[in-house]
Structure 1
Amino acid sequence: MSALRQHLLLFATIALALIVLGVGVVLGRLRQRLMRSEHERRRAADELNRRLSELFSLQELSYVLSDSLELDRIVEQVVRYAVRFLDAQGALLALVGEGPNDPLQVAAAEGTLAPLRGQTIQGDDTGLVARSTGREHLELIRKSGGAGEAGPGAEPTMIAKGIQAAAAAAVPLRSHGTVIGTLIITDPREGVFVPEDIRLLSTLATHAAVVIANARFFEMVRRAKEQWETAFDALSEGIAVVDDEGRVRRSNRSLAALLGAPLPNVVGTPLGEALLGKPNALHELLAATRRGERPAPLVARSDRLRRTVRVNAARIPGAATEQSIVVMVEDVTEQQALETQLVQSEKLAAVGQLVSGVAHELNNPLTSIVGLSEFLLEQKELGKKDRGHLQVIHEQAERAGRIVRNLLTFARKGSAERVPVDLNDVIRRTLSLTAYDLKLKDITVERELSGALPDVFGDRHGLQQVVLNLLTNAAHAVAENPRERPRQITVSTWFDGQVHLRVADTGPGISDEVAQSVFTPFFTTKEPGKGTGPTPCDPR
């Protein structure tokens, strides 16, 4: 029994030891599995944290980039965030030019690549920047200068002329299938690019390419808009875009200047009322234009602006609404005055020919009268009374002859020859022509003509026209003077190294507003038929 008990006890001990050993093995395996699971969990947690960090970083960059459409600000932010994300020592962003042969422009650079900021890189440069724009995918340069790992003695990589790096990554920026630039990152943390860096860099480049392409498109539209607005405002004619009610939706500066209002105040106003003072002044013109017709320009006198305007209208091709019409307003006041002057010149030319013919016809009988009166005055048997009458006849015939000769001189056509001219003689002859008209208007003329006046070199007929215009204007100015105010014109000449002519009158003078336009050709304040203003002539 004791032996059996000992065997049973030994068997139990062995069984217990086996059980303990099995439990230990199971516990050991279980512990290994738990440790492996904890490691995988930590690795998964680290990966998740890294992905979340990348996501938050990209989200932060998205907010920054979406805040502006300025290209310079965008490229600076992309480079700055690239250095921050990858903990790199340098980064740059180069953009492709608009033309096929344009060099690359380094738009932004940070860190060790900062010296390249603002520089241009030619397409035939052997560095990584120029080379990467011809690649389809990201190019990675490790410390060895190739795709595989190598020893520490490898040569650095050329980024651009004069700039090198031990490790670099270049990713082309593509938008709509076209390379618009390249993003270069050099010398990341620990000296190598890990797969997570490559993934983040690719995502950053994709996002940056879209934003940069949008910024470039916006810049192109902005420049085109500025060029259009510059051309729009540079036109001397007034331009306005009007709606279906005839209200101005857009205007250039010339129209605002014509209307005498600030440019913002012109927008929204009825064009017909602002231009011609009548709400429906342009109704027929705009209505015909909306129907697709090509109406004749409207020429009208604006009492409000004291100008004559010509208005043209046309539909805008491809406009959003059929009612959009562009209206061109031209100030034709001077043009009409010129046309009137041309018509008047033709009339004067005809009158000049008539006067010339009449003067020649009058000259013959006047010559006979002067000759016969001189012959009779030589007769000794004439009485004193008859001699006095004949003397009057002779003097008046001589005076009439002088008037006829002045008319012939004034009406004679001739080329504008520059010859020595006695200005005082021109003044005397012109005063002789106007003496009768001035006498009828009770206007006296004072002459202050210098006796030491040298001849001037100019066109005699042009100078006579100038003096006649000045005398005529002065006569018009003093003709309306009240009785207590004298009607006097003073013509004076003097020489102080230059020959001066001055025609002064006792009229009401010229207001400051009118004085600004006194030398404008054909400008006048007179009623129609009383003058067209100063004619553009060069009396030198």
Structure 2
Amino acid sequence: MVRYAMRFLEAKGALVALAADGEAPADAERRPLTVAAAEGTLGHLRGETIGADDPGLIARSLNGERVELVDRAAGEATPLVAGLEVASAAAVPLRAHGVLVGTLVIAEPRDGVFAPEDVRLLSTVATHAAIVIANARFFEMVHHAKEQWETAFDALSEGIAVVDVQGSIRRANRSLAAMLGSAIPSVIGRDLGTALLGESPALVELLAAARRGDRAQPLVLRSAPLGRTLRVNAARIPSPEQEASVVVLVEDVTDQQHMESQLIQSEKLAAVGQLVSGVAHELNNPLTSIAGLSEFLLEQKELGSKDRGHLRVIHEQAERAGRIVRNLLTFARKGPAEQGRVNLNDVIQRTLLLMAHDLKLKDITVEKVLPTIPEILGDRHALQQAVLNLLNNAAQAVAENTPGRRRLICVNTWFDQRVRMRVSDSGPGIPDAVVPQLFTPFFTTKEPGQGTGLGLSITYSIVEAHGGRINLERPPDGGAAFLVDLPPAPPAPLTPSPASAVEDAAGRKALDPSAPVVKRTILLVDDDPAVRRMVKALFGREGHTVEVARTPQHALDLVRTRSYDLILADARATARDHLFVEHLIAAHPGLKERILVATGDVRASTDEALAHLGLRYVRKPFNLRDLRDEAARVWAAAIGTIE
């Protein structure tokens, strides 16, 4: 363009200066100019930047609408830019579609060389030049926008495809290609429905609705070819053609659904946990009195053998019910009721012994591989309940086998940074529709009266409370398998216990049983008549005096006037909207070592309060040995025997 202007106007120099790009085209005259092209006597200005406030003709021409002609012969100074003058020059602003894009300048070292027809020709050249420059800039903008769109298209984590009226992929981004396990060129031309879902009438209907311009609900479908869960949405691409293409958004929501199901599961377990905790707590007091009084009667020497046998059954069943309640409380509390070192293999062996008779009657074979594994830290009874639930579930599954199919349960354990247990069966397997609700409380596929639907949900809660995980596996040869992994217990401390102390099963120090019995005075604060009877019978037979407070406030009044060696209080006993033991310690700090709390509460606030107060406690339902031992520790601590 510059050379064209020089040749046809017989000028010795020419240049084109373009306004810098800006957000508002209307402010071009206030933006600096860049000399984009320069030839002849002006060639040295190529690439120079000229400020908007420059006094020369180049910058000044942007403010005009027509060709500006200057000639030294007319007595005018002709600076093109500050410090550069020429004899004759003409400048015309370059405008296209009303937008100022720059200026075209020609210069001549001689005076009076540009005639009026030269000015008209320069104006014509400028008009065409402005259109060419504007179009070039427009195409550059389009190209840049296209590059940005393609970058964003490929950067999206969701798969995107443009499909034609036959459903074939015409364009795809990298995420979709990765989802399909192919390179982008290999994806183009494939049928989207077949590639994603196989045969899917629902997807065909979604694409048809999108082509009609209807706003259809996204589909959430399980992809058999990909083994993933996909959310698919589609929209019509605006087009004058009747049969328009459709853009399809494909999102892998497998992990999201898994997290959502875990959240729903946790919420359900929490709701059931609240229900269970209330019921279990109400059972604690009657179980405490049944177990305690039956044990108390079993210690009577004059009891006949037949009556002793009956009482032993009552006591054993009360203990069994107590363990069930503790398991339910563990389920509700989401934390182990008792912490101890547990050998999982031993738990499995003992559970299989309990089930041996029933398994034999049902003709069920159990194969087990139990190599040496580290101990775990937790509640033995809760873990046994979890193992029992898994084995019962497997036994019920294989019992449905058709004649000729072996009834087999396999139990394996191993260690690879975590202690792992796998319980598998040769049953019919678990249908796809059942899997999402497998650990949901009260969900069961059994006939009414044959199952509560709590077995697997309680197992899930127990495993989770011990820092573990439980997952379902579906072996290729059929059946079902549950994989449990648990953290190993830390190394056992090597420090020996003092010779004068003995450790019980829970690792607590116990007093020497040969120590002489001292008569004590006991204050009992409990609103359950059966528990009061049991405690009075136990300590009364040993010569201790038991005084029962009618209310927590009555107990506070008694403590002000009398001295007690032991204050046995129910954890839920309250006075003036606070725990009774909190009031008692606040009023009589010296009695702290003489307080023993009986608790069957699962509320976190109660446990936190007892821990903060540093009080000894015994969990309901408790037996006589537990109560005797804890009382002895309180008395020993009061006189400094046990630190």
TM-score bucket of the superposed structures, by smaller chain? 0.5 to 0.7
How far off is 1:250 after superposition? 2.7
Aligned residues: 383
Match of 2:295 in 1: 374
Is the alpha carbon distance of 1:246 and 1:488 closer, same or farther for their aligned partners in structure 2, counting shifts above 3 Å?
A: closer
Hey, what's the Cα distance between the residues in 1 that align with 2:329 and 2:166?
61
Hey, what's the Cα distance between the residues in 2 that align with 1:251 and 1:171?
48
Determine whether 1:492 maps to 2:441.
no
Match of 2:55 in 1: 126
How far off is 1:106 after superposition? 1.0
Match of 1:314 in 2: 235
Alignment match of 1:285 (pick from 195, 206, 215)? 206
Match of 1:93 in 2: 17
Hey, what's the Cα distance between the residues in 1 that align with 2:380 and 2:476?
20
Match of 1:106 in 2: 34
Residues 90 and 114 of structure 1 are in contact (CA less than 8 Å); yes or no, is this contact kept in structure 2?
A: no
Hey, what's the Cα distance between the residues in 1 that align with 2:11 and 2:156?
55
Hey, what's the Cα distance between the residues in 2 that align with 1:472 and 1:177?
71
Deviating more after overlay: 91-100 vs 264-273: 91-100
How far off is 1:367 after superposition? 1.0
Hey, what's the Cα distance between the residues in 2 that align with 1:274 and 1:488?
36
* Counterpart residue identity of residue 492, structure 1: P
Residues 469 and 484 of structure 2 are in contact (CA less than 8 Å); yes or no, is this contact kept in structure 1?
A: no
Deviating more after overlay: 124-133 vs 86-95: 86-95
What SS class does the counterpart of residue 138 from structure 2 fall into? helix
TM-score normalized by structure 1? 0.57
Residues 313 and 327 of structure 1 are in contact (CA less than 8 Å); yes or no, is this contact kept in structure 2?
A: yes
Hey, what's the Cα distance between the residues in 1 that align with 2:151 and 2:280?
60
Alignment match of 2:270 (pick from 343, 349, 357)? 349
Is the alpha carbon distance of 1:471 and 1:109 closer, same or farther for their aligned partners in structure 2, counting shifts above 3 Å?
A: closer
1:40-55 equivalence runs, <5 A: none
Hey, what's the Cα distance between the residues in 2 that align with 1:402 and 1:305?
46
Residues 132 and 171 of structure 1 are in contact (CA less than 8 Å); yes or no, is this contact kept in structure 2?
A: yes
Match of 1:139 in 2: 68
Residues 172 and 182 of structure 1 are in contact (CA less than 8 Å); yes or no, is this contact kept in structure 2?
A: yes
* Counterpart residue identity of residue 291, structure 2: V
Residues 301 and 308 of structure 1 are in contact (CA less than 8 Å); yes or no, is this contact kept in structure 2?
A: yes
Match of 1:167 in 2: 88
What SS class does the counterpart of residue 233 from structure 2 fall into? strand
Q: Of the two, which has the highest radius of gyration? A: 1
Deviating more after overlay: 395-404 vs 234-243: 395-404
Hey, what's the Cα distance between the residues in 2 that align with 1:193 and 1:423?
107
Higher strand residue share: 2
Is the alpha carbon distance of 1:92 and 1:289 closer, same or farther for their aligned partners in structure 2, counting shifts above 3 Å?
A: closer
Determine whether 1:211 maps to 2:132.
yes
Residues 133 and 181 of structure 1 are in contact (CA less than 8 Å); yes or no, is this contact kept in structure 2?
A: yes
Hey, what's the Cα distance between the residues in 2 that align with 1:178 and 1:444?
79
Deviations along 1:92-136, one digit per CA (max 9) or x if unpaired, are: 4223645222404314144656457252532x5432122212333
Match of 2:383 in 1: 434
How far off is 1:313 after superposition? 2.9
**In angstroms, what is the RMSD of aligned CA positions?**
4.6
Hey, what's the Cα distance between the residues in 2 that align with 1:208 and 1:480?
74
Residues 430 and 464 of structure 1 are in contact (CA less than 8 Å); yes or no, is this contact kept in structure 2?
A: no
Deviations along 1:56-78, one digit per CA (max 9) or x if unpaired, are: xxxxxxxxxxxxxxxxxxxxxx3
TM-score normalized by structure 2? 0.49
1:34-73 equivalence runs, <5 A: none
Hey, what's the Cα distance between the residues in 2 that align with 1:341 and 1:270?
35
What SS class does the counterpart of residue 470 from structure 2 fall into? helix
How far off is 1:409 after superposition? 4.2
Deviating more after overlay: 132-141 vs 94-103: 94-103
Alignment match of 1:183 (pick from 97, 104, 125)? 104
Alignment match of 1:271 (pick from 177, 182, 192)? 192
What SS class does the counterpart of residue 179 from structure 1 fall into? strand
Hey, what's the Cα distance between the residues in 2 that align with 1:464 and 1:490?
11
Higher helix residue share: 1
Deviations along 1:359-391, one digit per CA (max 9) or x if unpaired, are: 234423421232123312432335899879977
Residues 386 and 463 of structure 2 are in contact (CA less than 8 Å); yes or no, is this contact kept in structure 1?
A: no
1:410-489 equivalence runs, <5 A: 410-412=331-333, 428-438=377-387, 441=391, 442=411, 466=464, 468=466, 470-473=468-471
* Counterpart residue identity of residue 270, structure 2: A
Hey, what's the Cα distance between the residues in 2 that align with 1:275 and 1:479?
25
Match of 2:439 in 1: none
Hey, what's the Cα distance between the residues in 2 that align with 1:422 and 1:81?
96
Match of 1:64 in 2: none
What SS class does the counterpart of residue 63 from structure 2 fall into? coil
How far off is 1:304 after superposition? 0.7
| Unmatched tracts of structure 2, length 5 or more | 343-375, 392-410, 419-459, 478-482, 492-643
What SS class does the counterpart of residue 369 from structure 1 fall into? helix
